[in-house]
Amino acid sequence: MPLKSIYLLPHGGVIIPGLEPDRDDTEERKAKADRLLMKMEEIGQEFKEDNIDIIFLTSPHGYLHPNAVQVAFNSIFEAWQYYHKDGRVEQMLFPGHSQLAQIFFELLLQKQINTQPLIFADTSFPLKIAWGEAIPLQFLSSAEEGPQVVLFSLPLSAGTNGETDVLDKVADTFLELCDAPLLDDFNVSLVVSGDLSHKHDANHEYGYSKNADLFDEKSVAWMKAPDRQKYDELLELHETAASCGIFGMGVIQRLMEHLEPRGWTNHGVTYALPTYFGMSVASWKGNGKIQENNE
């Protein structure tokens, strides 16, 4: 099986020095952000050591459809980062795997999943992406070195009125593709870009919820040992805790139900709260020791 790793990675701009205006407003906040920054840099090194060729990436902050999975067909992704401290604007380009994206799209259609292609101009033209995709990719890929990216999004309707069937179907389709001979010569990683509860501080736009700390605490417990009961508890808390990563985490849950019997376990969790929302770096791989780095 070419699937080598699964990651839950944060996309808050606070990770990157200069990207978010108030990142360094206190030493404590800076230290928490720096811990996440260092861990993201370690993950980037892991990708090189594991010789990852292809990243499947999904984010709740990008191109979204009300009720369809979207798959991007372009072979170049373009991002711009504005650094507030020095007024610098940086362009980043990431290579997309257009052919594999189209194969993934066709497999999703065969599973009778409402799926839409995303194409800008033609597949060779750069498709602009948002922070939810660009921030993790900044640590994982580049136009010069790769890996190539297959970008897809879950529908906005995922989870509405308890509707989570699409998470099962997407997970099943992804595993089917990874078990196909087509990918035998590639090393693949799935990256879910998402953050935890957004309601830790009443002074920010999302406000405060008494369930914010509980949601993040239970999220870390779920990351260490995913099971459906733990995830369902998170799904209920999400209604008041507001986590943008909840449905991407649902895809991971379903994948781990298939992969755990193959010897997959959690390979590390790092959690920090440097701003009004919690962030975590977590990984799952086949066989290995669990590492803890929580705050």
d(CA 256, CA 238): 21
Side-chain half-sphere of 171: how many Cα atoms within 13 Å?
Answer: 20
What's the chain's Rg over C-alpha atoms? 18
First and final C-alpha spacing in the chain? 34
Cis peptide before 274 (omega within 30 of 0): no
d(CA 117, CA 120): 10
Query: How does the average pLDDT of the chain come out, rounded?
Result: 94
C-alpha dist (Å) from residue 285 to 1, 111, 151, 191, 267? 12, 26, 21, 12, 6
Helices (H), 50-180: 98-110, 131-140, 165-178
What's the pLDDT at 288? 47
Per-residue pLDDT of the chain (295 residues; tens, 9 = 90+): 799 999 999 999 999 999 998 899 999 999 999 999 999 999 999 999 999 999 999 999 999 999 999 999 999 999 999 999 899 999 999 999 999 999 999 999 999 999 999 999 999 999 999 999 999 999 999 999 999 999 999 999 987 766 678 999 999 999 999 999 999 999 999 999 999 999 999 999 899 999 999 999 999 999 999 999 999 999 999 999 999 999 999 999 999 999 999 999 999 999 999 999 999 999 999 974 444 455 5
What's the pLDDT at 202? 94
Collapse the DSSP code of 194 into the 3-class scheme (helix H, G, I; strand E, B; otherwise coil) and give the result. Answer: coil
What's the pLDDT at 155? 95
Contacts 24+ apart (CB under 8 A), 214-223: 214/241, 215/241, 215/243, 215/278, 216/241, 216/271, 216/273, 216/278, 216/280, 219/243, 219/249, 219/278, 219/280, 220/269, 220/271, 220/280, 220/294, 222/249, 222/253, 223/8, 223/266, 223/269, 223/280, 223/282
| Predicted TM-score (pTM) of this structure | 0.95
In the 8-state DSSP scheme, what is residue 50?
T
On whether the CB atoms of residues 248 and 136 are closer than 8 A, the answer is no
CA angle 120, 98, 255 (to 5 degrees): 110
Q: Which of 84, 109, 105, 96 is nearest to 18 (CA)?
A: 84
d(CA 23, CA 104): 38
* Domains delineated in the chain: 3-293 (3.40.830.10)
Q: Which of 92, 91, 94, 117 is nearest to 104 (CA)?
A: 117
C-alpha dist (Å) from residue 157 to 47, 198, 229? 32, 20, 22
Collapse the DSSP code of 57 into the 3-class scheme (helix H, G, I; strand E, B; otherwise coil) and give the result. Answer: strand
Q: Which of 247, 261, 287 is nearest to 5 (CA)?
A: 287
Residue type (1 letter), 219? S
What's the pLDDT at 162? 62
* 148-153 vs 264-272, strand pairing mode: unpaired
d(CA 194, CA 248): 7
What's the pLDDT at 160? 72
